[in-house]
Structure 1
């Protein structure tokens, strides 16, 4: 086993911004609202064309993967920049799920798994996701391992219906262990779930004595993976909040009431200024959390938890204000602002709800 702290290639802030602009341009050309909505209704719920383009032209799945495993040798800071842009469009592509699976493999430090599993992920040939949560959430896996066989149910699996490779956190006599299994393996049943947020496909995956490879990992894997998950999700939430703000500003520039553009009303200007402040402060804490992970800062866990709480609440607040400032049209299925409202509240349920994370941080302080 080796450490997952692999020195990434130096990427400047200017290069990272150029990457974000490339994603923004690609999404503008290939993933408008109509195509995103069509993908949300597809089976499976994925914009496969956009996913393949993102992997082939920009290499999004390869970014945090070391060069000797077929990757770009960058870092999760670049992945976060991609997720922030994709959070703006709500395009159903499995970038977040695959990044989390990549993090699980890297954190394990298992050289054989890194060499065998990461190259097809880096190329985009395989879509990977993490099976982690039990029915009650992410504190206790819903799957158990016994003699190399997996049994039980993983709930809330992100992009589970389109994944080829499943990274499974399972309870065992040794605590929590990590396993790799093909999604079409014997004993694996994938059930797409109905969701309030159509832009975030979730699945339930049942394992009935499914044979799986065991990936050597340490006892700190679940905690470190949760830190990555919260920080990367926060970046995506910032993008969603920024898009909700942009939609609201654009709407208030065109909507007239009492013979005036409603964006000229002082009260609405103040509300949108508060929304802008929420987005920018969320962006700051999100980037601080991601930076702490990349640099190995001991405060990464606390920063990621704080980012999860703040960005979840900021996104929900901005999307909620956006709904109100749009008026009646904001609650119709035809307008995109309601999609951001659903994404905001759905994302806040992942990896611990904000009030649960606050309680977790409080227990740490009192310990």
Structure 2
């Protein structure tokens, strides 16, 4: 039986990432960036990607990566979720990397692993694994068309673009027109990508590469949602222990204890589902099922944790200065990312040969 407990190496990785984020990703700084025109924290990304080598966790060692597994990447995403870190880790180090691994694009993989480039798969963030995805036109060797809802496109150096000939093309971001779109989650901005006769290098077949990339993105997104939910629960418990009303701790009221106990059970269940998804992606055993289970459950837990945190923090939870709104917006946006819970339930029903819900 697979051991889903964290290994010593994973615990050490978690501690290192958390220490870095504690020093360089304060909530006040994230809020300030959310108000600016540059929501991405490029210095933090460089520290994570280049300084700690986390951009190449999934890249083989002979290509300059760490040769680690999805379990280690999941631990990193848990910590990034806890901090709502505005860095393109999920989109570049996971989704784009998985697409390049499927295509065997060794040169680009080496660039992403060394953090000299940020790669972004030009498929809308809302697209679920296995679903149809928009493509651009290929005419006389040039790519033309528009793709919307592309996460982290503003900081991309290379775009991985699917075309109507069935191929996946690497296009320099400088050859595209990237227009920001309004996004609920200010820490993971979306953009519209337009190509007008851009040249690109064909990497391989788009369909298997996109399917693999979106499956990994959906599976490891659950770990990010777990990290956010766990932080929200921990922070809410801490606050209710300090807050006093009627000369007693607010956390001592039985009704609130029941709400927190229910939330703790939900987060514990999400931890099991997220760990199982990461392990299944690592071993390749029932990965489609494990990812569908995790994402069918993760969104409701993350959103519930964020809503409870806002409410139980009282008036301060409604202020811009408190980071609870960042987590609520991230949870709401993640509920649509890589397919809704309903889409994953339908996929799970198909995998189990059951009628769709």
TM-score by length of 2: 0.91
String of CA shifts for 1:277-326, please: whole Å, max 9, x gaps: 111211111111111111111x1011101111211111111111212212
Q: Look up the SS of the partner of 1:245 in the other structure.
A: helix
Compared with structure 1, are the counterparts of its residues 158 and 15 closer, same or farther at alpha carbon in structure 2 (3 Å cutoff)?
A: same
String of CA shifts for 1:76-126, please: whole Å, max 9, x gaps: 221111011010001101111112100111122x2xx22x10112111111
Compared with structure 1, are the counterparts of its residues 357 and 54 closer, same or farther at alpha carbon in structure 2 (3 Å cutoff)?
A: same
> For residue 238 of structure 1, what is the aligned residue in structure 2?
226
> For residue 29 of structure 1, what is the aligned residue in structure 2?
23
Equivalence map 1:184-203=2 (5 Å):
184-185=174-175, 188-203=176-191
Q: Distance in 2 between matches of 1:149 and 1:244?
A: 47
Q: Tell me if the contact between 1:126 and 1:165 (Cα under 8 Å) persists in the aligned partners.
A: yes
Q: Distance in 2 between matches of 1:300 and 1:169?
A: 24
Is residue 83 from structure 1 mapped to residue 74 from structure 2 by the alignment?
no
> For residue 8 of structure 1, what is the aligned residue in structure 2?
none
String of CA shifts for 1:18-65, please: whole Å, max 9, x gaps: 001100011111111122223323433211111111123211101111
> For residue 14 of structure 1, what is the aligned residue in structure 2?
8
Q: Tell me if the contact between 2:225 and 2:331 (Cα under 8 Å) persists in the aligned partners.
A: yes
Gaps of 5+ in 1: 1-11
Gaps of 5+ in 2: 1-5
Q: Look up the SS of the partner of 2:136 in the other structure.
A: strand
> For residue 163 of structure 1, what is the aligned residue in structure 2?
156
Q: Look up the SS of the partner of 2:238 in the other structure.
A: helix
> For residue 308 of structure 1, what is the aligned residue in structure 2?
295
Q: Distance in 2 between matches of 1:42 and 1:18?
A: 34
> For residue 135 of structure 2, what is the aligned residue in structure 1?
143
Q: Distance in 1 between matches of 2:162 and 2:71?
A: 24
Q: Distance in 1 between matches of 2:36 and 2:61?
A: 34
TM-score by length of 1: 0.89
Q: Tell me if the contact between 2:31 and 2:321 (Cα under 8 Å) persists in the aligned partners.
A: no
Q: Look up the SS of the partner of 1:132 in the other structure.
A: coil
> For residue 168 of structure 2, what is the aligned residue in structure 1?
178
Q: Tell me if the contact between 2:70 and 2:278 (Cα under 8 Å) persists in the aligned partners.
A: yes
| RMSD of aligned Cα (Å) | 1.8
Q: Look up the SS of the partner of 2:11 in the other structure.
A: helix
| Higher relative contact order (CA closer than 8 Å, sequence separation 6+) | 2
